[in-house]
Structure 1
């Protein structure tokens, strides 16, 4: 099946600073080391960016970007009947597609950070690239009480928005995936073989199929990065990974794993919880 090249409707500046601002900018440079286990800060709170999206729709099926050389498994989400391809990497079974489960969302007030979206609010984009979730929605804050602005120490694994028997990856589980790729050119090994801008496609040697779903930038109420970036939530908040010795409040931050079109590397950063990122789930241990 032929892979097409897709237009990402956003400005270069927006790609650098939108959603994961400093992290995106740093990881697109050639100066990053091949060892991509990076732990740093990433926030767009105080950054102006110029790019926006406008009616973007992927005119492809989700099967198009899967690696035809890989033997995938499958699982069915009993909540809505959706089927997902899966892949085993070093004994860990990952979803090879972004989650597309709609947990529902409220209108305003205390639940406004529990939302999820289709890119550009186009249902077709959810079918191809999955939904974009706030961290609270990904964590399923109704059960975990780990919503926006709350510091918590959830018991791992956290099922969150994932199907029964599956869970949201912790930061350590993302790091284990990096280690499976020898911590070298991780982005290239995890990205899909098509769909990325700026010659950013990978070889998807693990069958992970990291697709450039873009993200939702809550502060500016816009979708950016289609074709140029992929951000995936972890269940690890900033406060539970590092001590509060600095006296800083990290209750608005959680860690994500990030892929970019202009780099063979990948990264892990703490970022604003209220932006909309993709979700991949891991099967629970037997």
Structure 2
């Protein structure tokens, strides 16, 4: 089926050629540094093409120029495009994938998404305002605009699945380039979509236009077909909806369970008549952890990690150097019963995945490391914690952080918990330097029956190393510090900030999903 590809980006846009004259700093080529997670890969591939439109307050500088992804991981115009000369004039950049000439004002997913039909249905767009001419590549985040259905087949019959078809969704969307939105074309026809086979008899993908839909799934085997209908569901763009299809000898069951890597994890879709769902989770080490996507746009674990690395056991002695410990209670005593709700405590070498102890050579090599987190997740960095906290030690400040509360001078734990982060004051193991004896510290005290206290969550960004004699590495390490999330709650504060935490402490871990 031929895809609809016509777009009116602006009524009075005039295509401008690249300028041969150079600006005051010399020729500045317009290139784009994309950030995405593709439906099939983790990045664009060499040769992929996007359409780019650049407008200023005065005019359309260039419209639907074809940019091609190169071996340098950047997009550049097929014919080198230089910035305009006025370096003080800001521009708005709109880009979309896959490229088409003319540019699309409507987009239709392919009915047959096998082979190239799936990639051709993966519409992505990016919009960036306030961009000034620069020699640097312009960073643009491309977001999936379609909804993705991911079907996992649990086949209990002797006949392999040969086809999976989704019926009942409208296949065409309208693109608003200025607003960077994609909405269903309500008067367009519904279509049958043949899903892409990813793994034979095991996994299928289908891309559909975002919409409120009551759709059905039909599975075909050599002995016939089976169908199941879904309840009316709001399918959101950029979200991935996991579906488990259980094919039985006499019928078929469909359930929603488990997160999908790559796209934003979506809520479950109930089958017709059920109307139930369960919280999104990620499984690691045989444990399912609740996860949540916060206003920073990132997906976090909503529970403290209680994973035990291979070769490790859980200790009750904070001073034994084991690296994995039970949490403590409010009396600063070990309490294994709290592990399920409060997680475990970890040394920095263990949580960062270091081979051995902290040293001057390895302490600052693990920013953003997976560490003991699941595949596709990592230990949060300073910048990622700052997007929740908005403030920190040493004058760190980001008042644009979505949970920043000026009155608290930090991130509001109340607002974060309302959105599902679920802070857990689980205690920590304190050792403020390399020679201190580690000891349990309670995150709260019981004075006057009121919860007062503080605690830390691990970060992977190193702050500094100090020596017993300042500047003399031969005198031995005095301390190694990391940027960490510090929670404070008392009569005045209920906040999270970014602070310095000794690398010789034992702390809880929250993993964050890798950026999409």
Normalised by the size of structure 2, how large is the TM-score?
Answer: 0.34
Q: CA deviation at 1:115?
A: 0.5
Structure 2 residue 463 is the aligned partner of structure 1 residue 255: no
On the 8 A contact 2:429/2:439 being kept in 1, the answer is: yes
Q: Which has the higher contact order (CA 8 A, sep 6+)?
A: 1
Number of the residue aligned with 1:164: 375
Q: CA deviation at 1:136?
A: 1.2
Structure 2 residue 503 is the aligned partner of structure 1 residue 273: yes
On the 8 A contact 2:367/2:461 being kept in 1, the answer is: no
Give the number of the structure whose residues are more often strand, by fraction. 2
**Hey, what's the Cα distance between the residues in 2 that align with 1:96 and 1:187?**
20
**Hey, what's the Cα distance between the residues in 1 that align with 2:409 and 2:292?**
16
Structure 1 221/157 Cα, relative in aligned 2: closer, same or farther at 3 Å? closer
On the 8 A contact 1:213/1:278 being kept in 2, the answer is: yes
Structure 1 113/220 Cα, relative in aligned 2: closer, same or farther at 3 Å? closer
Structure 1 124/250 Cα, relative in aligned 2: closer, same or farther at 3 Å? same
Structure 2 residue 283 is the aligned partner of structure 1 residue 76: yes
Number of the residue aligned with 2:365: 154
- Which structure 2 residues correspond to residues 14-163 of structure 1 after superposition, within 5 A? 72-77=279-284, 79=285, 81-89=286-294, 90-103=296-309, 104=312, 113=321, 115-120=323-328, 121-142=334-355, 147-152=357-362, 153-154=364-365, 156-163=367-374
Structure 1 258/271 Cα, relative in aligned 2: closer, same or farther at 3 Å? same
**Hey, what's the Cα distance between the residues in 2 that align with 1:74 and 1:96?**
9
- Which structure 2 residues correspond to residues 218-237 of structure 1 after superposition, within 5 A? 218=431, 219-227=436-444, 228-237=453-462
**Hey, what's the Cα distance between the residues in 2 that align with 1:203 and 1:225?**
22
**Hey, what's the Cα distance between the residues in 2 that align with 1:106 and 1:205?**
32
**Hey, what's the Cα distance between the residues in 2 that align with 1:267 and 1:255?**
10
Q: CA deviation at 1:106?
A: 10
Structure 1 221/85 Cα, relative in aligned 2: closer, same or farther at 3 Å? same
Q: Cα deviation per residue 1:160-189 (whole Å; 9 max; x = unaligned)?
A: 111111100000110112212135337673
Structure 1 189/205 Cα, relative in aligned 2: closer, same or farther at 3 Å? farther
Structure 1 155/230 Cα, relative in aligned 2: closer, same or farther at 3 Å? closer
On the 8 A contact 2:479/2:502 being kept in 1, the answer is: no
Number of the residue aligned with 1:175: 386
Counting matched residue pairs gives: 194
- Which structure 2 residues correspond to residues 232-243 of structure 1 after superposition, within 5 A? 232-239=457-464
Secondary structure of the residue aligned to 1:141 is: coil
Structure 2 residue 442 is the aligned partner of structure 1 residue 212: no
**Hey, what's the Cα distance between the residues in 1 that align with 2:384 and 2:402?**
11
Q: CA deviation at 1:124?
A: 1.4
Q: Cα deviation per residue 1:107-138 (whole Å; 9 max; x = unaligned)?
A: 9xxxx656021124432111110011111111
Unpaired segments ≥5 residues, structure 2: 1-277, 329-333, 390-400, 445-452
**Hey, what's the Cα distance between the residues in 1 that align with 2:345 and 2:424?**
13
Secondary structure of the residue aligned to 2:349 is: helix
Alignment root-mean-square deviation, CA: 3.1
Structure 1 161/186 Cα, relative in aligned 2: closer, same or farther at 3 Å? farther
Secondary structure of the residue aligned to 1:212 is: coil
**Hey, what's the Cα distance between the residues in 1 that align with 2:428 and 2:385?**
19
Give the number of the structure whose residues are more often helix, by fraction. 1
Secondary structure of the residue aligned to 1:234 is: coil
**Hey, what's the Cα distance between the residues in 2 that align with 1:155 and 1:258?**
20
